[in-house]
Structure 1
């Protein structure tokens, strides 16, 4: 049996949060998903957490501290450096993707429009051996 992953979603869009958490619940209802609405809130949650998430999904366009700023900060923090951060954004231009990867993003995925596509995408990321 595969271990149940824990996820942190950093995204200020409530519709995207709901679709993401619904997709995770569809895959496996025991997946733990915490949500932060911006980079400042996420850093505060991570600083106070007893255990770190297995993966962080990070939107780029958010208030207070955007995704690129959070990514820079996280990769400069010893405790967070090795947590895979996956950019989860509506942006899909080559320049933005390359910039995110240079800042240390583990992967870059564009937000799918269809629920079924999101389920397939998340399942493949969370359980790669069972694709």
Structure 2
């Protein structure tokens, strides 16, 4: 039996969470979607054991309480989480952010799309 995919989005913007969820459902309705409002909440969710470990983590950079870069470093420092692909999902297209997050262990870097159609095209790369 094929394992059900799961995805965790860590992003402080509730509208972005909803758009991401809708796009993901259109791409693959079988994917279990979880979200967290910031890095602290995301790490708590990952450590709680309450949910299955996600197959993918999408992570915003600019968030209160804990930046995406700090959250990425914390994820990569946890042995049971270190192998999960972490995709940075940010409005920033700054080459320094891309370089810094790749150095911290990001699997990929996606600039947030203003079109749900464009977002779906990106998500198909991961969930089709």
- Distance in structure 2 (CA, Å) of the matches to 1:38 and 1:15: 14
Equivalences for 1:1-131 in 2 at 5 Å?
A: 3-49=3-49, 50-127=51-128
> Are 2:27 and 2:127, in contact at CA under 8 Å, matched by a contact in 1?
no
**CA–CA distance in structure 1, aligned partners of residues 9 and 117 of structure 2:** 19
Q: CA deviation at 1:81?
A: 0.6
Aligned counterparts of 1:42 and 1:93: Cα–Cα separation in 2: 24
Gaps of 5+ in 2: none
Secondary structure of the structure 1 residue equivalent to 2:17: helix
- Aligned residue pair count: 127
TM-score by length of 1: 0.92
Deviation at 1:91, TM superposition (A): 0.4
Distance 1:125 1:24 in 2: 10
Instruction: Output the aligned Cα RMSD.
Output: 1.4
TM superposition shift of 1:4: 3.4
Q: Report runs of 4+ in structure 1 exceeding 4 Å deviation.
A: none
The answer for unaligned runs of 5 or more in structure 1 is: none
Tell me the CA shift for residue 2 of structure 1: 6.3
Q: For 1:81-114, what per-residue CA distance to the aligned partner results, in whole angstroms no more than 9, with x for missing partners? A: 1111000000011111000000000000100110
User: Could you tell me how far 1:16 is from its partner in structure 2?
Assistant: 0.5
